[in-house]
Amino acid sequence: MNALLRTPLYDLHQALGARMVGFAGYAMPVQFAGVMAEHRHCRAAAALFDVSHMGQIILGGRGAAQGLEALVPVDVAGLEPGRQRYGFFTNDAGGIEDDLMIANRGDHLLLVVNAARKAADLALLEGAMAGVEAVTDRALLALQGPGAEAALAALVPDAAAMRFMDVAVLDWDGVALWISRSGYTGEDGYEISVPEGRAEAFARALLAQPGVLPAGLGARDSLRLEAGLCLYGQDIDEATSPAEAGLGWAIQKVRRLGGVREGGFPGDARIMAEVAQGPARRRVGLLPQGRAPMRAGVALFAAQDAAEPVGQITSGGFGPTLDRPVAMGYLPVQQATPGTTVWGDLRGKRLPLQVAPLPFHSPSYRK
Amino acid sequence: MKFTEEHEWLRIEGDLVVVGITEYAAEQLGDVVFVELPEPETQVAKGDEVCVIESVKAASDILAPLDGEIVEANPALTENPALVNEDPQGDAWFFKMQIDDLSVLDAFMDEDEYKDFIA
């Protein structure tokens, strides 16, 4: 096995007593005080996550927006400077190669992509355009929760004025922070890119603010699950289409059928038809009716005694805010209406789950 | 108290053996959110999966440490799975077993040996 890569905050994690795990080739903290406590603290106050394993990519070439629109079904050309948008790379079959954030920083675009996909994304981008630059000398932190604004504004006052999905470059102690008001928890918060040499000092400055505690990948996963957010490789992958995943909202009108820049991205025929007409299966929320969590891979059946599964759980676990097990998965549209009962196969037993609307926990973004 | 390599503890109580998981195991599991217990009057063989523990992170099994009969399971764990984290070597016992010969417990680790084992 190859040695795990370390983020610029590795020593800090060690000093804070993190339990480390390998994730996408990096040694990452899975928990500090405990997943449940960190999850609840994020919903109540503010949690600081190290997400430096994710890829930061600059598209600085002329025509970057046009080039990117050939890879993602997103209105990139219409994205205002200082704003960020969610999107995904698609493939010829209409599936999803990765999901990402796209920020317009005036004279260039900044992408944030998944750790496990960054090499593939870079290859894809470099094959499609000039001026692609992987940012390898900056850490990425996520400060999430209702206390995030006060904590960051104590160090960087202008961060308070940002709205959800704004991006800005703001100074802290002589360092240029690349800040977006966004996240992956369903809470208000920020993602902050900081030069690696100052990352620990900046993280310590945030942790010194009242109410800010470190959190690991365990809480990040349970928070995003409650918020109904997809994890690439589980809830979305090369075989799931945007409409199936319930991500049609991320495809702006100008890229849909009849739009002024309709199609022109991989898999456009299938993706646009599905967005217009509806897919045959859909990602749904699922509430196990007992106390036993049901996790990714559990087969779903339309009836307790049905022989063939109709779908599968793609993410599942315990939702600390809801204080009950929660899950997401795919079901045929016939079974996808909230309130429908389906059955999951758990250790050889068929147990009921109820289809539920997503998200389980309503977001509190500062729009 | 005796200890197994599967991080269970065994305590003799009258003619029964009480079984739970160690503090070390509870710490490794993280927050326990669900426990599935065996039915009383179940005959089990050493190594059988007799309980399921679900933490926020993952599901794990508890294996029967000995051949014998499960005579009682701890209903407090069904009510409050977090007890496994709060008092793993006390109130959070999982089940009690009847076995033929209590002297088989001599073969398991004592506390010092277990501490060396997890060190």
Q: Which CATH architecture has domain A5-52+136-226?
A: 2-Layer Sandwich (3.30)
Q: How far is CA B62 from CA A106, A317, A324, in A?
A: 57, 20, 23
> What separation in angstroms does the CA of A136 have from each of A142, A232, A235?
17, 22, 28
Model pLDDT, residue B57: 83
Which residue from A36, A37, A293 is facing B34, i.e. has the nearest CB?
A293
Report how far residue A146's alpha carbon sits from residue A313's, in angstroms, rounded to the nearest whole number. Answer: 30
Contact between chains at A293 and B59 (C-beta distance less than 8 A): yes
Taking each helix axis as running N to C, give the angle between helix A196-207 and helix A148-155, from 0 to 180 degrees, rounded to the nearest 10: 120
Is CATH 3.40.50.720 the right assignment for the domain spanning B2-100? Answer: no
* For residue A160, pLDDT beyond 70: yes
Phi and psi (nearest 5°) for A330?
-110, 140
For chain A, the domains span 5-52+136-226, 280-367
Q: What's residue A2's pLDDT?
A: 65
Compute the average pLDDT of residues A249-264.
96
Task: Give the mutation candidate from A35, A222, A223 for the B interface (greatest B CB count, under 10 A).
Answer: A35
Question: What SS3 state is found at A91?
Answer: coil
Nearest CA to B74 out of B64, B84, B66, B85 is that of B84
List pLDDT tens digits, range A180-231.
999 999 999 999 999 999 999 999 999 999 999 999 999 999 999 999 999 9
Asked if pLDDT for residue A1 goes beyond 80, the answer is no
Q: CA–CA separation, A99 vs A118, rounded Å?
A: 11
Interfacial B residues in 6-25 facing A (CB < 8 Å): none
Examine the pLDDT at A61 and tell me if it is beyond 90. Answer: no
In contact, A221 and A269? CB cutoff 8 Å? no
Q: Which of A29, A62, A148, A168 is nearest to A105 (CA)?
A: A168
- For an interface test with A, give the residue of B24, B27, B29, B31 to mutate (most A CBs within 10 A): B31
**Cβ–Cβ gap A35/B57 under 8 Å:** yes
Residue of B nearest to A291 (CA): B34
Task: Judge whether B48 is closer than 8 Å to chain A, CB to CB.
Answer: no
Burial class (CB within 10 angstroms; exposed 0-12, middle 13-18, buried 19+) of B113: exposed
**Is the Cβ pair A218, B52 closer than 8 Å?**
no
Domain A280-367 CATH superfamily: Aminomethyltransferase beta-barrel domains (2.40.30.110)
B25 in helix, strand or coil? helix
Predicted confidence (pLDDT) per residue in A265-296, tens digit: 999 999 999 999 999 999 999 999 999 999 99
- Among B34, B56, B58, the residue with its CB nearest the CB of A291 is B34
Report how far residue A248's alpha carbon sits from residue A242's, in angstroms, rounded to the nearest whole number. 6
pLDDT-above-70 percentage for chain A: 99
Q: How far is B118 from chain A (nearest CA, A)?
A: 16
Low-confidence spans in chain B with pLDDT less than 70: none
- Is residue A249 predicted with pLDDT exceeding 80? yes
Work out the end-to-end distance of chain A between its first and last CA atoms, rounded to an integer number of angstroms.
45
Are A182 and A166 in contact by the 8 Å Cβ rule? The answer is no
Once rounded to an integer, what is the mean pLDDT over residues A97-111? 97
Q: How far is B112 from chain A (nearest CA, A)?
A: 25
Do residue B30 and residue A317 have CB atoms under 8 angstroms apart? no
What mean pLDDT is reported for chain A? 97
CA distance B119 to B100: 33
- Does B61 touch chain A if contact means CB atoms closer than 8 Å? no
Average pLDDT for residues A323-335, to the nearest whole number? Answer: 97
User: Is the torsion defined by CA of A8, A10, A11, A15 positive or negative?
Assistant: positive
Find residue B4's DSSP bridge partners.
none
B57 touches chain A (CB under 8 A): yes
Strand partners, A300: A311, A344
pLDDT confidence of residue A325: 97
- The mean per-residue pLDDT over the stretch A290-318 comes to 97
Average pLDDT value for residue range A37-54: 98
